[in-house]
Amino acid sequence: MNQSQTTLKTIAIWQPYFMGGGAEAVSLWILEALAPHYDVTLFTLNSIDLERLDILYNTHLSQQTITVKPLLPSALNRDFVKPLIANNRKVRSGLIHWSVRAFKELNRDYDLVLSTYNGIDMGRRGLQYLHWVHVVEPSPKKMNTWGTIVMKISDFSLENLQKNITLANSKYTAENIKDAYGIESRVVYPPVVTEINAIPWEQKENSFLCSGRIVKPKQPHQVIEILQKVRDRGFDVKLHITGGGGGAYQQSYERRIKKIAAQNSDWIQV
């Protein structure tokens, strides 16, 4: 770190993992916005490939001065841990809460602490960006034995979560934050970063775009089924499916979607 950087305010950011979703886009673009002006440290479970993420999300983080601090030992490489996080909810929640505990212990000397992965107890008042409610901590209505265990792992305080300054990804989420936690939040919409070429209306195609991870919870198969019914009624619409895969645990579903697309290549493209 050079002399000019030592005078910068320090920010500790918590994002437990990068699996290719929308929350990651918000986290990476927050890093993109902050890195030129602050001394930023990212705390995450595993090491990350910034160059690859730059390609996926159109960021320039590999060219920035950002410190990445993996919380897990290097011996637990991404190829081992990532499938466990993706496939096993108990392992995922356990690791998340363990990382919350670690983050609380490591962030004490920073000027600001920030969670880009929903609401958490950071051990001190900080800034949190919520994509939804009760993502990290279990909902009180659904609390079970494992939920009690992970809350003890992180020594999670709902009161500390409520003290944070809260940002929401939409007005709808803000309303649910108010209902769930009794706190107000400011809406800051997720980034939309793309270059769009202006095409005359008469040259446009009658198409639908389904954009997001090609995973079962996102239900692109239902989009296909709906538009097939639209086509059956005589409307010559097409479908473009774009987005990252869900990793090893979703490969069979991704193959299913690509097979359907190949069988209907006259109107579906992945």
* pLDDT for the residue 70: 95
Which amino acid appears at position 198 of this protein? Answer: A
User: Which residue type, as a one-letter code, is found at position 48?
Assistant: I
Distance, CA of 196 to CA of 180 (rounded, Å): 38
**Alpha helix segments (H runs only) across the chain:** 3-6, 22-34, 50-57, 78-87, 89-106, 145-154, 158-163, 171-181, 220-232, 251-263
What domains does the chain contain, in order, with CATH numbers?
A: 3-187 (3.40.50), 201-269 (no CATH)
- The two tokens of residue 6 are 């030592």
Residues 185 and 176: their CA atoms lie apart, in Å, by 10
**Contact (Cβ atoms closer than 8 angstroms) between residue 46 and residue 211:** no
AA letter at 61: L
**Per-residue pLDDT, 87:** 74
pLDDT of residue 3: 45
Give tens-digit pLDDT for 120-147. Answer: 999 999 999 999 999 999 999 999 999 9
DSSP helix/strand/coil, 99: helix
Q: How far apart are CA 45 and CA 95, in angstroms?
A: 8
**Pairing relationship of beta strands 39-44 and 10-14 according to DSSP bridges:** parallel
Neighbour count for residue 88 (Cβ, 10 Å): 13
Tokens of 159: 């009161």
pLDDT at 1: 45
What are the Cα distances from residue 116, in Å, to 59, 132, 172, 257, 269? Answer: 16, 12, 18, 31, 33
Instruction: Tell which residue, 125, 117, 111, has the closest CA to residue 43.
Output: 117
**Whole-model pTM?**
0.83
Read off the tokens for 19.
Answer: 């699996």
Given this model, what pLDDT does residue 247 score?
A: 55
The answer to whether 10 touches 39, Cβ cutoff 8 Å, is: yes
**Three-state DSSP state, 94:** helix
Residue reference for tokens 């880009």: 116
pLDDT value, residue 20: 76
Burial classification of residue 170, based on how many CB atoms lie within 10 Å of its CB (0-12 exposed, 13-18 middle, 19 or more buried): middle
Query: For the chain, what is the mean pLDDT?
Result: 91
Q: In a structure prediction context, what are the per-residue pLDDT tens digits for the chain, which is 270 residues long?
A: 444 556 899 999 999 998 877 889 999 999 999 999 999 999 999 999 999 999 988 999 999 999 999 999 877 766 677 777 877 889 999 999 999 999 999 999 999 999 999 999 999 999 999 999 999 999 999 999 999 999 999 999 999 999 999 999 999 999 999 999 999 999 999 988 777 788 899 999 999 999 888 888 889 999 999 999 999 999 999 999 987 765 555 678 889 999 999 999 999 999
